[in-house]
Amino acid sequence: MLHRILALIIKEFLAILRDAKSRMVLIGPPLIQLVVFGYAASFDLNHVPFAVYDQDRSVAAQDLVAHFTGSPAFTEVASLKSDHEIKSLINSRQVEMVLVIDPRFSRDLLTGKAAPVQVIVDGRNSNTALLILGYANAVITAYSQRWAATHGLPSPPAQLDPRALFNPNLDSHWFIIPGIVALLTQVVTLLVVGLSVAREREAGTFDQILVTPMRPLDILLGKSIPGLIIGLAEGSVIILATVFWFKVPLHGGLAPLYLGLLLFVFSVTGIGLMISSLAATQQQALLGAFLFMVPSIILSGFATPISNMPVIVQDLTWINPMRYALVIIRRSFLEHPSFTSLLPQYLPMAALALVSLAAAGWLFRKRAV
Amino acid sequence: MRRAARLCVAAMPPETDAAPLVLEQLTRRFKIGKRVVVALDAVSATTAPGLVIGLIGPDGAGKTTLMRLIAGLLRADSGNIRVFGTDVAADPLKVQGMIAYMPQRFGLYEDLSVQENLDLYADLQGVAPEARAARYAELLHMTGLAAFTTRLAGKLSGGMKQKLGLACTLIQPPRLLLLDEPTVGVDPVSRRELWAIVDHLVRGQGMSVLLSTAYLDEAERCDEVLLLHEGKLIGAGKPSQFTQAMAGRSFQVRAANISKRALQGALSRLPGVTDAIIQGEAVRMVLDAGINPGIVGESGQADAVITPVPPRFEDRFIDLLKAKAAAMAIEPAPSAKPPAAARAPAAQPGTEIEVSHLLKRFGDFCAVDDISFTVARGEIFGLLGANGAGKSTTFRMLCGLLPATSGSLQVGSFNLRTAAATARGRLGYMAQKFSLYGDLSVLQNLRFFSAAYGLTGAKRNARIDWALREFELAPMRDATSRDLPLGFKQRMALACALMHEPDVLFLDEPTSGVDPLARREFWQRINALADSGVTVLVTTHFMDEAEYCDRLVIMGQGKVLAEGTSESLKSACRDATHPDPSMEDAFVALIEADSARSAAQVRAA
């Protein structure tokens, strides 16, 4: 029996590796996505174009503007003479923020009163607007502190002293790139496993296997083990790229990471096999894989936090293996997680793996023979 | 403007000065994987107007490529095609205005009714609304579809779909009609009707028709024949010219004291015998030119009864192929030596397959309707029927691939639906279209299937060596199997099915599309297997292949129409109009009797 499964595994690898198109599926999309996510996707804002409407024209006001232009987050693109220019610049998306300095700015500052500064942002992308406001706030706070220090004024009674643990520079790549490990492992495993049976059904070779003495369980194992190996290999390549190319630190060590990855690949293989046993053609299998993949990524916390979702949708994420995989992988990279602290992730994922593999086996038997 | 002009041309009597089709040194190559295939190799021909020209050859001979070149859908690598004097490469639009092309799988819209399909093609072809009613009436009358105009195309039978395809193709009457394998997989009754339509178009309307087919027996219905093999034109002329060349060389041989398979084997090994095939209980033999039929005595069968029979088109094809092979100084086919019997011959007589009251429903549709038959051990048993007759469904149930709705089926002492996996180790299965792993090499396929059947170690290596030797696959052991020619794929599929020396062999359309020599070689092996006690169950829609079976059932609309030996089935329909009926005559008679019966039942009810 082991002999037969081994033969099936060897055949599966040969079929994937000898076919140029299958080889491309393993290499092409992961490479593209790694580049896209690694370089293009970022939550950090850089060089936000902004305009200044300085009605004060004092040294103090110039100093404030210099604080903005000196920050890597902002780039000054225009200086305004009147307030009706503001609207047209924002409407035409030439600037995302306008800094309006009141005529009384320096006078109020020097007399020790609160000096008003207005920040106008483009609220059409609420996410970016909030980030810009946050940055602007930080710049103005820094300016106030410096003014207080140089003019012998008392500093504000309560002071914010931010310090980010695990990711001291709050570099969003450290958050996104480890997520790609889970994302790409899922994509590749799902495609390899999901298409494998459908491909054989189309070619007519599936009948040929079914009339051999191999049992459905043998076929199931022979189909899932190559998927597991390929999924783990793909994950490993991306982990290497994350650590050595994108320089994201791996603090937690390989053991918790790989235990999580293994359980994740098991559960994705089970889902892939379920799709495979239902689909009659490769086209259907591909559609099935995407039908699963898109919600699974959105509901995983890959880009948007699960805690922001409505409660009913949050409940739905409990059956999404990627949700757990992301937590395990991110924590393994940036923390030193203990095994017990990750158990709440390992256990549900193991349960999902068991359920999906069992369901795949049942569907397989039902559809196959 | 153009529309009116075209209608004018169609109404005019065909010009006689320009030949419908002139081919000059036509060559076209394709790259399949790493192999460059010469689909057409310097083909030259000229055809006369108002005739049915048969383009005849096995799959891969280049028939479809030629059709597509003429229709201007492909470009030739070199050479010219002229249709009624117009060069296709120079003015494809003008040529496309003069021809109509019906591809192998005509693009009917299955969710539209017969009438809606006609309307659609009339719109696409720009037929004037006022001309439509008369044209529809004519086409529907000709194809016998007038009663079915509201039926969805998807619900038509295979033959009716083909006729609707033809009607849609003819919606704008062409001067040259190209039909690519219109009769493949169509039941013999519909085949005859399609031929009647073609005859009507040619005789009644003066149309020129180029029709391709892989059925060699259809050659005799054409006015002229172009015989293609591996991209080369190996013969052209009237069918009678082909058969006349074989006059006096075809015989039927009967011997009382030796089995038909032994006789066929002995005859085919005699020098001077071009061809020997089993035909019912006798052997049909074709001799090389100038050989006296007395040589049958040299096979040790001095008292065999030898009767001359009229030559067939296929005899000439075999003769040409063998002559070509001899000219290239290669062994024509390894069929001459019988495969070594791999087991103790002649297993215990008894029943190997038993089917009783088998029924299969898909929703409301009854694909297999209460059929029963038995197959004895060591027998070659045929399941015959057109596409959709239920033979593939029956076959899949026998292999355990599909559950039966009701009824029982036993293979050996097992029901394959419920039997343990090991029971499947007793059977070999060769799927339609020779399904193997195309990305794997020959050797990798053999390795996989031997392991899948549980062979290990020395035994496995021995069987792989056996397969490479016996099926002469050793030279291409490392070739990617997708790139192999069809004949090799077929051999490899059989090798894979035989790795574990099965007791029962299931063959689903095992010879469709392969050339006649490869078919003979294939049956030679099957005969040897049956002689060694293997039970063989085979489905086919080639009527002449039914002759190779010991017994067969003919299926139609899910029912068994008749069961028996090919001789008994043929003699059952012998009458004044058919003194020497062929298998196809028998089949047609059975179908017609069946439809008459069901019509009578409808009337009675």
User: CB of B421 within 8 Å of any CB in chain A?
Assistant: yes
Residue of A nearest to B457 (CA): A3
Query: For position B10, what pLDDT does the model report?
Result: 40
Query: For position A27, what pLDDT does the model report?
Result: 84
Q: Which of B238, B231, B312 is nearest to B52 (CA)?
A: B238
User: CB of B206 within 8 Å of any CB in chain A?
Assistant: no
> Is residue B509 within 8 Å of residue B478, measured between CB atoms?
no
Radius of gyration for chain A, computed over Cα atoms and rounded to the nearest angstrom: 28
Residue of A nearest to B439 (CA): A15
Q: CB distance A7–B451 less than 8 Å?
A: yes
Strand order across the B559-564 sheet: B427-430, B504-508, B535-540, B380-384, B551-556, B559-564
Q: CB distance B452–A4 less than 8 Å?
A: yes
Q: Is residue A249 part of a domain?
A: yes
Q: Is residue A3 part of a domain?
A: no
Query: For position B346, what pLDDT does the model report?
Result: 47
Domain of A100: which CATH number? Answer: 3.40.1710.10
Chain B positions in Cβ-Cβ contact with residue A211 (cut-off 8 Å): 399-401, 424, 427, 429, 506
Of the three residues A150, A184, A208, the one that is the final residue of a domain is A150
Q: CB distance B401–A210 less than 8 Å?
A: yes
d(CA A162, CA B449): 66
Q: CB distance A18–B440 less than 8 Å?
A: yes
Task: List Cα–Cα distances, B158 to A340, B162, B389, B591, in angstroms.
Answer: 66, 6, 10, 15
Query: For position B299, what pLDDT does the model report?
Result: 74
Q: Is residue A1 part of a domain?
A: no
Chain A positions in Cβ-Cβ contact with residue B461 (cut-off 8 Å): none
Could you tell me the pLDDT band of residue A144, with boundaries at 50, 70 and 90? confident
Task: List Cα–Cα distances, B433 to A7, A258, B300, B438, in angstroms.
Answer: 23, 44, 39, 12
Q: Which of B398, B415, B417, B437 to mutate to test the interface with A (most CBs of A within 10 A)?
A: B437
Task: List Cα–Cα distances, B140 to B136, B149, B154, B197, in angstroms.
Answer: 6, 8, 17, 11
Are residues A135 and A188 part of one domain? no
Of A4, A6, A209, the CB nearest to B454: A4
Residue A178 has pLDDT above 80, yes or no: yes
Are residues A87 and A37 part of one domain? no
Are residues A74 and A26 part of one domain? no
pLDDT less than 70: residues of chain B: 1-17, 33, 328-348, 416-417, 420
The shortest C-alpha distance from B301 to chain A (Å) reads 42
Are residues A334 and A219 part of one domain? yes
Could you tell me the pLDDT band of residue A203, with boundaries at 50, 70 and 90? confident
Q: What type of residue sits at position B480?
A: T
d(CA B454, CA B452): 5
Are residues A361 and A285 part of one domain? yes
Q: What is the dihedral of CA A187, A191, A192, A197, to 10 degrees?
A: 150
Chain B positions in Cβ-Cβ contact with residue A14 (cut-off 8 Å): 437, 439-440, 444
Between positions 358 and 397 of B, the ones with CB within 8 A of A are 396
d(CA B252, CA B249): 10
Chain B positions in Cβ-Cβ contact with residue A4 (cut-off 8 Å): 451-452, 454
Query: For position A368, what pLDDT does the model report?
Result: 55
Of A10, A19, A214, the CB nearest to B421: A214
Are residues A348 and A210 part of one domain? yes
Are residues A114 and A82 part of one domain? yes
Q: Is residue A156 part of a domain?
A: no
User: DSSP states of B138-176 as a string?
Assistant: HHHHHHT-GGGTTSBGGGS-HHHHHHHHHHHHTTS--SE
**Mean pLDDT of the residues in chain A:** 88
Tokens 């040969």 belong to A14
The A-side interface with B (CB below 8 A) comprises 3-4, 6-8, 10-11, 14-15, 18-19, 22, 203-205, 207-215, 369
Residue of B nearest to A200 (CA): B437
Query: For position B447, what pLDDT does the model report?
Result: 93
> Is residue A349 within 8 Å of residue A264, measured between CB atoms?
yes
Are residues A114 and A13 part of one domain? no
Are residues A218 and A296 part of one domain? yes
Are residues A215 and A305 part of one domain? yes
Residue of B nearest to A222 (CA): B452
Q: Is residue A155 part of a domain?
A: no
Q: What type of residue sits at position B145?
A: L
Q: State the total domains in chain A.
A: 2
> Is residue A90 within 8 Å of residue A122, measured between CB atoms?
yes
Are residues A312 and A198 part of one domain? yes
d(CA B546, CA B523): 12
Q: Is residue A16 part of a domain?
A: yes
Strands B273-279 and B99-102 turn out to be: unpaired
Query: For position B273, what pLDDT does the model report?
Result: 84
The shortest C-alpha distance from B423 to chain A (Å) reads 7
Q: CB distance B431–A208 less than 8 Å?
A: yes
Q: Is residue A164 part of a domain?
A: no
**For a pLDDT cut of 90, what percent of chain A falls above it?**
44
Query: For position B345, what pLDDT does the model report?
Result: 45
- Please state the length of chain A: 369
Of A211, A213, A215, the CB nearest to B399: A211
Of A3, A11, A215, the CB nearest to B440: A11
Query: For position B464, what pLDDT does the model report?
Result: 94
Chain B positions in Cβ-Cβ contact with residue A215 (cut-off 8 Å): 421
A236-256 pLDDT per residue, tens: 999 999 999 998 999 988 999
The domains found in chain B, sorted by start residue, are 2-237 (3.40.50.300), 245-332 (3.30.70.100), 351-565 (3.40.50.300)
Tokens 């020497």 belong to B580
A103-138 pLDDT per residue, tens: 999 888 888 888 889 999 998 988 889 989 989 998
Q: CB distance A205–B440 less than 8 Å?
A: no
ipTM: 0.73
Are residues A190 and A54 part of one domain? no
Residues of the domain holding A268: 8-41+171-368
B434-486 pLDDT per residue, tens: 778 988 999 999 999 999 988 888 999 999 999 999 888 888 888 888 888 78
**Which alpha helices (H) appear in B270-329, and where do they start and end?**
313-327
Query: For position B17, what pLDDT does the model report?
Result: 55
Q: Average pLDDT in the A165-179 region?
A: 85
Q: CB distance B451–A208 less than 8 Å?
A: no
Residues 6+ apart with CB under 8 A from A101: A52, A53, A54, A55, A56, A61, A64, A65, A117, A118
Q: Is residue A248 part of a domain?
A: yes
Residue of B nearest to A20 (CA): B439
Task: List Cα–Cα distances, A305 to A171, A299, B279, in angstroms.
Answer: 17, 9, 77
**Which alpha helices (H) appear in B382-500, and where do they start and end?**
391-398, 421-424, 442-452, 457-470, 486-498
Reduced to 3 states, what is the DSSP secondary structure of residue B15?
A: coil
Q: CB distance A212–B506 less than 8 Å?
A: no
